[in-house]
Amino acid sequence: MKAAPSQNAVTGQSLADRLFETLRGEIVEGRIAAGSKVSEPELARRFEASRGSLREALMRLESLGLLERRVNVGARVVDLTERGLLELYDVREALEGMACRLAASQRTDADLAELRRMLEHHEQQEELRAGTAYFQPEGDFDFHFRIVQASGNDLLIDTLCNRLYYRVRMYRYQLGMASPRAQRAFREHSHIIEAIEAGDGDLAELLMRRHIRASRQNIENKLR
């Protein structure tokens, strides 16, 4: 009989991994305020972990772009700026446009079925709250997430899903961008998937870029 295994062996991830995920959630949801300074000893006490493991988590958060660290000074949560948000939209437009193009040329039956199923699910939820101006952020998120997965490009998937999307969610949570574009966005999603089904990469990319650019324009107008 082996000794009681640590949490490490059970979950297949290290303590630093768990700290990283926990802190990532708190930063994204704003429980740790944007722009605020984070103290290593304070967090180490709070999570009852050593500073070493915590530093590892902080370093990963830095590589995610959620934290900024300066030598001998410490780490701060990035602050949410209008410029940063618009920059995010431009990069997403480029990458998700490419994801659509690739998804259209490399599509599999499984991907298409998944996309169709998701769209029907969203349609259902959409009808339930028809008329409300509230936009389902998770539904929109699902859509973009699945499209990127269907691109089959691991580098693209990693860049968007493991890096940029956390920043996207951070802006969504904290600037609370409820969008009145619900119905229009849904139709746009539908058209994008149709283009992917048809294997029309050019059109799929064009529609996705328009979709994201419209969302960006919407935000830009609201901020002024």
Partner DNA sequence: CAATTCAGGATTGTCGACAATCCTGTGGCC
Partner DNA sequence: GGCCACAGGATTGTCGACAATCCTGAATTG
Distances in Å between the alpha carbon of 200 and those of 62, 144, 205?
Answer: 38, 18, 9
- Total of residues contacting DNA (CB under 7 A): 26
Please state the closest distance from residue 67 (CB atom) to a second copy, in A: 12
Reference 186, options 222, 220, 215, 206; nearest CA is: 215
Task: Give the nearer residue to a second copy in terms of CB position, either 22 or 63.
Answer: 63
Task: Give the nearer residue to DNA in terms of CB position, either 72 or 124.
Answer: 72
Please state the closest distance from residue 90 (CB atom) to a second copy, in A: 6
What DSSP state is assigned to residue 29? T
Q: DSSP characters for 1-14? A: -PPPPPHHHHHTS-
In the chain, the amino acid numbered 159 is: T
Q: How far is CA 22 from the centre of its chain?
A: 16
In the set 149, 159, 174, 190, which binds a second copy (CB under 8 A)? 159
Question: Which residue pairs, CB below 8 angstroms and at least 24 apart, start in 125-128?
Answer: 126/182, 126/183, 126/186
Contacts (Cβ under 8 Å, ≥6 apart) of 144:
96, 165
In the set 29, 82, 87, 220, which binds a second copy (CB under 8 A)? 87
158 binds a second copy (CB under 8 A): yes
In the set 1, 5, 221, 224, which binds DNA (CB under 7 A)? 5
Residue showing tokens 């000893």 = 41
In the set 3, 155, 221, 224, which binds a second copy (CB under 8 A)? 155
Stretch in the footprint of a second copy (CB under 8 A) among 34-42, 54-62, 128-136, 190-198: 54-62
Copy the structure tokens of residue 46.
């709070």
Kindly write out the interface string for residues 57-96 of this chain, putting x where it contacts DNA by CB under 7 A and - elsewhere: ------------x-xxxxx---------------------
- The site for a second copy (CB under 8 A) is made up of 8, 12-14, 17, 52, 55-56, 59-60, 63, 65, 71-72, 84, 87-88, 90-91, 93-95, 97-98, 102, 153-156, 158-159
